[in-house]
Each structure stands twice: as C-alpha cells, then as structure tokens.
A and B are shown apart, each in its own frame.
Chain A
Amino acid sequence: MTGTLLAESLINGLITGAIYALVGAGVALIYGTMRVLNFAHGEMMMLGAYFAWMGVAVAGLPVLLAFALALIGVMIVAAVIQRAVVAPVLAREDWSFRVIAATIGLSVALQSAAQLIWGEKFNALPYFLDGVVQIGPMRLPWQRAAIPIVAFVALGLSALLLYRSRFGQMIRATAQDAEAAQAVGIPAGLVHTAVFALSAGLAAIAAIMLAPIMSVNPWMGLPYILKAFAVVILGGLGNFGGAIAAGLLLGLVESFGVMVTSSEWRDVISYGLLIAIIWVRPYGLFGGREAA
C-alpha cells in the first residue's frame, strides 16, 4: 500500500519535474546568455498550447504537423519579442530591471490578448497518445508517461546543440562576453535571437505535452513561470544543467510534499523552499560559477 503510494508520488514527481526542467532550462539559457530574466516565458507555453490546439482541434491538421507548426510559430513569436522588446532595452543603461519590467508588461499583455482572441473558455487538446503503460502495480496512460521521455529527448538534443556543435560554441562564447564574441566574428545579436527562440521552443514542447491533461487557457503559463524561476535559482541562475537537475528535484519535493500535506499547499512548499535556500545558499544548490 505505502509502497504503491511512494511509487506513485515518485512517478508524478518525475512527470511534473520534467515539465519544470523544460521550462526552467529555457529561462536559464536566456539568463545565461544575455542576463535577462524573461517574465514572458510562461506565455510562450500558453501560445504553444493555443497554436497546437488551433492546429488539431480547429484546423483539423494531423497531430505531428500541427505540433511542428505550433513549435515554429512560437519560436517566431519569441524571435520577434527578442528583436522588438528585449534588444532595444538591453541597448540602454540600467537595463537589468527595465527588462524585467518590460517582460512583465508583455506577459500580462499577451495573456489579455489571448483572452480577447480565444475567449476565457478552457479548451482541451484531445489525447494524442493512446494506451496505458504498466509499471509494476501501476497503470499509467501513455499521455502522461511520455512527458518525461519527450522532455529528456528535447533537453538532450539541446545539450548536444549547446556543448557539441559549432552553434553551441557560438552561444557559449556570446554568453561569456558578447562584445568579444562579436570581435571574433560571431553575430552576437543573431545568437541572442536564436537562444530566445530555442528556449521558447522548449517551453512550447512542455505546453503541448501538458495540454491534453491540463487545459488550454490564457493564464496557463502563470503557475509555471514562478516555478521556473524557483528552478533556475535552485540550479544557479543561468546554469542549464543545474536547471534540469533542480527542475526534477522540485517536482519530486512537491510530489512528496503533497503526499504529506494536501495539494493546495504544493506551491507554498516550493516557494518556501526557494526562500529558505536563498537564505542559506544565495547562489543555488550547485555552487555558483555562473551565478551573479
């Protein structure tokens, strides 16, 4: 009995943690390369889910085509945001707070725009994976079981891109010193735009995987952006691998925390943990090489 409960909590924690890792890794990547805390990252999730829902439920496209289009759509939106909002603010003095304020404003404006376009209704993307998987005594629908798998494939590919490719070298060089990178011929501005698009793509994948089991609505990114911030602080701001580890950890802590208390205290547990950890280890759990 308790064994099953523990296993269930473990798997639920892994599923939630995988989502946190996807969203948090994107926030960490953006912060790591341009020192920007993107408060509009949750809305990239929201747009990803809406685009996928429009493709599948409204336009009736094949699932994979709809998802690919949604992913590309979100990445284009993110690139436009980076060019139109983030880059002009970064070019000025005292940008570190201004860019936070600008993305907070953008986040709210996008939520409100989504509400005007698609209405307040909570839409559901139909289950796109059938069947259940048997793990020991537990039966888990593939729709949920696939979340950690998809997340690890996506994050693994991103890590390969970051650490094993020429483009990744360019990103890391820009992250260390954008001006020096530019001096050796790296188009730092384009790299920033690409990082924004890549991070938004990770968020969109998280949203598409979540959409069938949650619901698609204008505010769906809201709970995840604060969690993503908690994840990047725990993992060390700007640390890609740290964010993935911290995302899984936070998912597990919440899952076991809810088992002990009840689900309405889940967020209190994770934010409380965040403040407590900042108190004792201001620069995250895993040391502070990149942390400010």
Chain B
Amino acid sequence: MRSVLGSRPWLTLALIALVLAAMPFVIDDNYLLHILILFLIFAVFATGWNLTLGILGQKTLGHHAFFAIGAYTTALLSGTVGLSPWLTLWLGVLAAALAGGLIGIPILRIRSMPHVAIVTLAFAEIVKLLLANWKDVTRGELGLWGIPPFPAIEIGGTTIRFGAGQIAGSFALALLAFVAVHALVLWLLRGRFGLTMVAIRDSQLAAESLSIDLTRSKLAAFALSAAIVGLSGGLYAHYLQILTPTSTAGPEMLVTLLAMIILGGVGTFFGPIFGALVLTALTEYLREYGDLRMLIYGATVTLFVILLPRGVAGLLTRRGRPAAAGDEPATAPET
C-alpha cells in the first residue's frame, strides 16, 4: 500500500489543499486561476479513472464516456428540464455510476486485458455517437451551450457566484470537490477496500482464494470510479457552460487523461494529481501552438512508457529503498 500512497498521505493531501486554498489570495490573475480550476477538475477525473486503471488493475479505456455522461446528464436536466444544478449534478453522478456498473458486467466475465481495453473503448465510442446523433436533445456536434451555472449561494452575508466568469466561486467549488474526492478515496484506500483492490490487481486468483468476492468488489470499484469521473464531468459542464460530444467523449480526452495518469504514475495516489497539474499548465502555455498539443500528449505517453514507466511518482518512491518485489503488479499473462 505504501507504493500507492507514499509515506504520509494525509499530511501530503492537507499540504496540497492548503497551498491550493492560498492560491486565490496570492495570484491576482483570473486567467491563471481559470487554469487551476481546470486542473482541479481534471485531477478529480484522473483520480477516478486511476482507481480502476492503476489500483484495481483493470485496464479500462472508456472513462471519458462517464465524464460525458455526468456532464450531459446534469447539463440537460438543468438546462432543458429546468431542475436546479445543485440537484442535477448528483443525478449526473448517479447516471455515471450506473453506466459504470453496467459496463462492469460484461467485463466481469473477461480476464484478458486486451478484451477489457477494447470493450470499454467501444462503449465510449457508442456514448459519443449517441450524443452526436441524438441531435434533437443534445444538438449533436453543434454543441450544447448556455448550460446554467450553479445558482449563487449566500454564506454569512457574502454571495458566492459560480460559472464561467465567476472565478472566485468556481475555484472554491472545484477545490472543495477536489479535497472531498481525494479525502474519500484516501480514506477508502487506507481501509479494507484499498487492500481488496490491490489484492485483486496483484492476483485475481489469490484474491479469490482469500474469499474476496471478485464480482462485488469489482462492480463497486467500477461504480465508484465512474461516479467520481461523472462528478468531474458535471463540474466541467457547469463551469465552462458548453459541451460537445467530441470534446468530452472523443479520443483527445482519452489521450489527455491517459497522459496525465502515466506521467504522474499509474496506480499511485498523488501521481495523477501531479500529472494533471503539469499537463493542464502545459496545454495552456502552448495554446498558441495549438497543433502541437496532441503531438506533445502522444509523445509524453509513449516516452514515459518507454523511459519512465512508473511515472514521476516512481522516481520519488524508488529513492531511499529498494523496490520491493510486490511493488510491480505482477501481470504475468493471465489466462
């Protein structure tokens, strides 16, 4: 578990949260804060996906579908139907969790990694096509715009507003979600749930022989992972207030998030957060060279896999102690 969490995870998480919370008081530049908001949202996405990809060891490639499901559900229910975004956000999370459970069912029967990767990828493609083809409701690739922001709330006499132009409120909300999700995941990983997941990753057969219910554990992990990703989709929808099928469930989203997780370190708790920070910042920095963006993401993934397969986090944990044999998830051909 130390190889996943590092040595003092609660302290590290608290420090990260403190530094981030200080940002609006230190940085006076709304544009930089906007980038940080995007980072917070993508960090939640990356952590959610990393639960199945890295920690459970199920190589799913379709989590951008849950992002789109969370985003579109809340956007349509609040914008078109007219419910409060504070409610529909959770309906989006619920929809993503149900979809996660649903796609988990055929995957339960498969232990071959390539099958899992292809099925989840095909699922994401179906979700993208449904969103693109269901033009009466989603407006297809024209995009769904004018999604309502979260309604303002009043705390102690100050009104906090949210949405694209409201940087302070949006930052506070994204930070709250970031801290809440990471605290929840950390708490779960420190307990029985985390041990179960790592046991399944290391050997499904051994885990089963220790009377771990593979079906229940995997489905629970899938649903939780999808729910977290769906939450990040909902936050994204109500922050940017515009969605298109390709920008949410397209291959670019897959590669972007994969690059974040791999750069940070697959299967580590803090790695994907770091990857999200580096790549979100890099994207904005390179905005004027827009065509280079995907070249850099693609090359990042390939080069890190070849040169630094355990990511930046792997560099840090390796120092000071020899890599224990159990660190490397043994994925000898599972048959």
- Seen from chain A, the residues whose Cβ lies within 8 Å of a Cβ on chain B are 31, 35, 37, 85, 88-89, 92-94, 96-113, 115-116, 222, 226, 229-230, 233, 237, 264-265, 267-268, 271-272, 274-275, 278-279, 282-283, 291-292
Contact residues in B for A283 (Cβ distance below 8 Å): 112
**Known contacts A112-B293, A282-B109, then 13 further A-B pairs from the complex at CB < 8 Å, ordered by chain A residue:** A37-B117, A93-B330, A94-B330, A96-B333, A101-B301, A102-B306, A105-B255, A110-B298, A116-B291, A230-B122, A237-B115, A265-B133, A282-B115
Interchain CB contact under 8 A, A104 and B114: no
> Chain B 295-335 against A: per-residue CB contact (8 Å), 1 yes, 0 no?
10111111101100100000000000000000011110111
Interchain CB contact under 8 A, B299 and A109: yes
In the complex, residue of chain B having the shortest beta-carbon distance to the beta carbon of A100: B117
Residue B82 lies at the interface, judged by CB distance under 8 Å to chain A: no
Contact residues in B for A229 (Cβ distance below 8 Å): 118, 121-122
With an 8 Å Cβ cutoff, the count of chain B residues facing the other chain is 52
* Residue in B59, B125, B297, B302 whose CB lies within 8 Å of A102: B302
Say yes or no: A111-B333 contact (C-beta < 8 A), given A222-B251, A275-B119. no
Contact residues in B for A272 (Cβ distance below 8 Å): 126
* Residue in A37, A100, A267 whose CB lies within 8 Å of B125: A267
Contact residues in A for B293 (Cβ distance below 8 Å): 112
The CA of A271 and the CA of B126, in the complex, are separated in Å by 7
Which 6 residue pairs spanning A and B have beta carbons closest together?
Answer: A105-B301, A109-B298, A108-B298, A292-B112, A105-B302, A112-B295
* Residue in A108, A264, A271, A279 whose CB lies within 8 Å of B251: A108
Contact residues in B for A113 (Cβ distance below 8 Å): 295
* B218: min CB distance to chain A, Å: 15
Contact residues in B for A268 (Cβ distance below 8 Å): 126, 129-130, 133
In the complex, residue of chain A having the shortest beta-carbon distance to the beta carbon of B105: A279
* B56: min CB distance to chain A, Å: 12
Contact residues in A for B328 (Cβ distance below 8 Å): 93-94
The CA of A101 and the CA of B267, in the complex, are separated in Å by 14
Interface of A is mostly: helix
Say yes or no: A292-B329 contact (C-beta < 8 A), given A100-B114, A278-B119. no
* B71: min CB distance to chain A, Å: 20
Interchain CB contact under 8 A, B291 and A279: no
Chain B residues 125 to 145 lying within 8 A of chain A, measured CB to CB, are 125-126, 129-130, 132-133
In the complex, residue of chain A having the shortest beta-carbon distance to the beta carbon of B295: A112
The CA of A116 and the CA of B125, in the complex, are separated in Å by 26
The CA of A113 and the CA of B331, in the complex, are separated in Å by 33
Interchain CB contact under 8 A, A112 and B302: no
Interchain CB contact under 8 A, A101 and B258: yes
Question: Can you sample 12 A-B contacts with CB below 8 Å?
Answer: A37-B114, A94-B329, A100-B113, A105-B300, A109-B295, A111-B294, A222-B251, A264-B132, A267-B126, A274-B122, A275-B119, A275-B123
Residue B51 lies at the interface, judged by CB distance under 8 Å to chain A: no
Contact residues in A for B133 (Cβ distance below 8 Å): 264-265, 268
Say yes or no: A96-B113 contact (C-beta < 8 A), given A102-B306, A105-B302, A272-B126. yes
Interchain CB contact under 8 A, A107 and B117: no
The CA of A89 and the CA of B121, in the complex, are separated in Å by 22
Say yes or no: A105-B118 contact (C-beta < 8 A), given A267-B125, A267-B129. no
* B181: min CB distance to chain A, Å: 24
* Residue in B115, B258, B330 whose CB lies within 8 Å of A292: B115
* Residue in A94, A97, A105 whose CB lies within 8 Å of B298: A105
The CA of A265 and the CA of B125, in the complex, are separated in Å by 12
Interchain CB contact under 8 A, A278 and B125: no
Contact residues in B for A267 (Cβ distance below 8 Å): 125-126, 129
In the complex, residue of chain B having the shortest beta-carbon distance to the beta carbon of A115: B291
* B198: min CB distance to chain A, Å: 14
Contact residues in B for A226 (Cβ distance below 8 Å): 121-122, 125
In the complex, residue of chain B having the shortest beta-carbon distance to the beta carbon of A86: B306
> Chain B 261-300 against A: per-residue CB contact (8 Å), 1 yes, 0 no?
0100000000000000000000000000001111101111
